Amino acid sequence: MNPLRASCFELPASSFLLPASCFVLRASCFELPASSFLLPAEKKHFTKHKLYNKNNEFNKMKSISISLFLACFYLLSYSQNPNPVVLVSGKVLNERNMKPVEGKVLYEYLPGGEEAGLARTNPTDGTYKIILPFGKNYGYYALAEGYYSVTKNLDVTSLNKYAEIDEQNLYLAPVEIDQVVRINNIFFEGNTASLKSESYPELNRLAEFFKLNKKIEIEVSGHTDNSGKPEELKKLSQDRAQAVADYLISKKMDSKRITVIGFGDTQPIGFNNSDEGKEMNKRVEFKITSLTKTKKK
């Protein structure tokens, strides 16, 4: 019997004896009591399961996503079938004060933005773990009420062996005046201001955020590294910021809520003497300049 397709099955004690390399998943996700049942929460797709006991009483343990369930089996069989995956771990933190935040981590395929999976953070320290199969380009970010998600990108299309990437902290920007947020997963064609299609999921999410927060006004700013003449860099940064603003306006955001500025290479956040530093400096950000909350009646 294929257990993943069964509508209901019993899990005896110590069913999940994971290898040492998978101890984290064992400790945080799969310590299930004896004589428990997993029932599909969504019959059609078998995407989530809930834990019940023999008396059909709902166990208060969190629902387990089938993506993690599959990932566990993936790693269990790794020694026999070494298909490459990457285990990504880190913390979800408040970008303002670096304190852990309880929330969710969503990961999606790029360039289309289709959801690939969802994980929950540890409510105590904000840690998370996700497993990404090879051969895809991913965007991933944290979600929590009252924050804007700062996304990350991980391209594992060329991965050919199992890998672990730790300390991949995800940041949540509180919705506050003067809060500056880097818009990650924005990609341009070469040394131009032409947006690549991989940018659309991030920009669509940003547009949706502003639809839900109609009182927010922002300043979109562009930045570059120091490779070029100052006047050319300033124009490039201005054009890239304008490209982002134009996209948001095309998604029905009021143009009066957006101002645009290009700083060129004048506000680096990394050292321009390294490739890593240059990549950090080539960015588009937005700053919340006005935040008028709607009064409750």
CATH number, domain containing residue 202: 3.30.1330.60
Domain end residue (candidates: 155, 174, 193): 174
Output the CA torsion 214→216→217→221 (10° steps). -120
DSSP element (H, E) containing 245 = helix 230-250
Q: For residue 185, what pLDDT is reported?
A: 87
Same domain? 265 vs 276: yes
Please tell me whether the overall predicted TM-score, pTM, comes out greater than 0.85 for this model.
no
> For 248-276, what is each residue's pLDDT tens digit?
999 999 999 999 999 999 999 999 999 99
pLDDT of residue 100: 95
180: β partners: 287
- Side chain identity at 189, as an amino acid letter? E
| Measured distance CA(219)–CA(287) in Å, rounded | 5
pLDDT beyond 60 at 61: no
Per-residue model confidence (pLDDT) at position 75: 54
**pLDDT confidence tier of residue 127, bands split at 50, 70 and 90:** very high
pLDDT at 73: 52
Same domain, 95 and 153: yes
Residues 6+ apart with CB under 8 A from 270: 276, 277, 278, 279, 280, 281
292 shares a domain with 204: yes
Mean predicted lDDT score pLDDT of the chain:
77
In the Cβ-directed half-sphere of 232, how many Cα atoms lie within 13 Å?
7
Radius of gyration of the chain measured on its C-alpha atoms: 22
201 shares a domain with 142 = no
How far apart CA 12 and CA 118 sit, in angstroms, is 26
Q: Which domain holds residue 138?
A: 83-174
Q: How far is CA 39 from the centre of its chain?
A: 28
* 136: CATH: 2.60.40.10
Q: Tell me what pLDDT residue 82 has.
A: 54
Domain boundary among 159, 174, 189: 174
82-122: pLDDT as tens digits = 568 899 999 999 998 999 999 999 999 988 888 889 999 99
- pLDDT interval class at 217 (50, 70, 90): very high
With cut-offs at 50, 70 and 90, classify the pLDDT of residue 135.
Answer: confident
Region 5-14 average pLDDT = 34
Choose the final residue of a domain: 23, 49, 76: 76
Q: Among 47-61, 175-189, 240-254, name the one with the lowest average pLDDT.
A: 47-61
215 pLDDT band (50/70/90 cuts)?
Answer: confident
Residue type, 155: D
Q: Is 7 helix (H, G, I), strand (E, B) or coil?
A: coil
DSSP state at residue 195: B
